[in-house]
Amino acid sequence: MNQPPNPAAQPQAALPGCWWHPNRPTGLSCSRCGRPACPDCLREAPVGFHCTDCVHSGAQQQRRQQRGYQEAGFGQRTVFGARLSQSVLVTQAILAVNVLVFLITVVQAGSLNDNELSSLFQYGTLYGDATLGHNEWWRVLTSGFLHFGPIHIAVNMFSLWMMGRSLEQVTGRGRYLALYFVSMLGASAAVLLFGDPAGFPGTAGASGALFGLMGAYAVTVLKLRLNPTGLIITLALNAFITFGIPGISIWAHAGGLVTGALLTVALLYAPQVNQARYQAIGIAIIAVAIIGLIIYKGSQFPPETCQFIQYRQGPYYTCG
């Protein structure tokens, strides 16, 4: 026989020591860098196991990539294409401007409840004859920052705070500003087109823009198939206020609601490729159409002569 019946066992190769604990022999290694590692120095990964150094360096690289991704304008976005944010700076600024303007009218009129007698109020309220016949076009926007008394501004500012915060966060500042002011423009256009041009005491208040936010809320709920209970309650309550309380401008509310809904359709249904560009085009088309209707209405309105007269111990702006 060439071989003994019980050959001696061949010696096994010695196991390498852990890279971080050399006194610990191990048959394991990092699937990323290949260095031997004991079980205490390995972490489970999507593929195999990584050592602690690779885990740490991978996390740093991921954070750098994420920062660069966000700085380049990418990152997690809402359904409107806006980056996620908890800021409500625009809502706060609009609310502050409304309150400031109200306080100025109170000081000018010397009355908290009859602040519409102030010159600022008279010169900024939406009078159809002054706007269309006397070319005082600024009234289509300035009227949205004037309010009849403390209850009027308190209700509108509460509604702005409740609806504006959520919409600003999901739409982004730029889209939210466009939604607010174009809705205000649409509300004024509806008053000028369909309302009484010589109506007294004129149309004022942020409710036209607020109904635009409500229209945006309605389209968003329908688009995302959210629970409509809150929307139904909000619409029912505001419909009761609009038609049940005398002196409320129905056309301003209706114009703001329709404009806000149309703007939101343009924002939500814009193509995903170059979304911001298509959204801007949609907003511009709606705004230009509203301005065109106002100019067309003004071209058909006879010229008016307007002036301040004394009325109830205060100035009153009248046209005739």
Least confident of 1-5, 27-31, 52-56: 1-5
Q: How far apart are CA 88 and CA 152, in angstroms?
A: 23
Q: How far apart are CA 210 and CA 68, in angstroms?
A: 37
Q: How far apart are CA 185 and CA 211, in angstroms?
A: 12
The per-residue pLDDT for 71 is 56
pLDDT tens profile 112-151: 988 888 889 988 999 888 888 888 899 999 999 999 999 9
Query: Which of 215, 104, 212, 218 shows the shortest CA–CA distance to 153?
Result: 104
pTM of the model: 0.74
For the chain, the average pLDDT equals 85
List phi, psi (to 5°) of 89: -60, -40
Q: What percent of the chain has pLDDT over 70?
A: 88
pLDDT band at 47 (very low <50, low <70, confident <90, very high): confident
The per-residue pLDDT for 181 is 97
Q: Identify the top-confidence range among 41-50, 80-89, 92-101, 116-125.
A: 92-101
The per-residue pLDDT for 171 is 92
pLDDT band at 10 (very low <50, low <70, confident <90, very high): very low
In the chain, the amino acid numbered 196 is D
The per-residue pLDDT for 287 is 97
Least confident of 68-82, 236-250, 259-273: 68-82
Domains of the chain (ranges, CATH numbers) = 17-57 (no CATH), 89-319 (1.20.1540.10)
pLDDT tens profile 195-229: 876 655 688 999 999 999 999 999 998 888 878 88
Instruction: Report CA torsion sign: 257, 259, 265, 267.
Output: negative
Q: How far apart are CA 239 and CA 231, in angstroms?
A: 12
With a CB cutoff of 8 Å and minimum separation 6, the contacts of 259 are 182, 183, 185, 186, 187, 212, 215, 286, 290
Q: How far apart are CA 286 and CA 181, in angstroms?
A: 12
pLDDT tens profile 276-313: 999 999 999 999 999 999 999 988 888 877 777 766 66
Q: How far apart are CA 129 and CA 203, in angstroms?
A: 12
Higher pLDDT, 77 or 50: 50
Query: Which of 91, 73, 78 shows the shortest CA–CA distance to 176?
Result: 91
Q: How far apart are CA 186 and CA 254, in angstroms?
A: 9
Instruction: Report CA torsion sign: 94, 209, 125, 301.
Output: positive
Percentages helix, strand, coil for the chain (3-state, rounded to 5) are 60, 10, 35
With a CB cutoff of 8 Å and minimum separation 6, the contacts of 147 are 98, 102, 115, 153, 156, 204, 205, 206
Q: Is residue 141 a contact partner of residue 126, using CB atoms and an 8 Å limit? A: no
Higher pLDDT, 85 or 25: 25
The SS3 assignment for 309 reads strand
Q: How far apart are CA 188 and CA 199, in angstroms?
A: 13
25, pLDDT greater than 80:
yes
Cα distance from N-terminal residue to C-terminal residue, the chain:
133
Q: Which two tokens stand for residue 218?
A: 């309605």
> Which residues are registered as beta bridge partners of 25?
17
Higher pLDDT, 68 or 268: 268
Q: How far apart are CA 95 and CA 167, in angstroms?
A: 15
Please identify every residue annotated as catalytic. Answer: 207, 253
Radius of gyration of the chain (CA): 33
Query: Which of 204, 213, 227, 203 shows the shortest CA–CA distance to 258?
Result: 213
Q: How far apart are CA 278 and CA 266, in angstroms?
A: 8
The per-residue pLDDT for 100 is 97
pLDDT band at 314 (very low <50, low <70, confident <90, very high): low
The per-residue pLDDT for 198 is 60
pLDDT band at 186 (very low <50, low <70, confident <90, very high): very high
pLDDT band at 46 (very low <50, low <70, confident <90, very high): confident
Can you list the alpha helix ranges (DSSP code H) found in 26-148? 52-71, 89-109, 119-124, 128, 139-142
pLDDT tens profile 221-250: 888 887 888 778 877 888 877 777 777 888
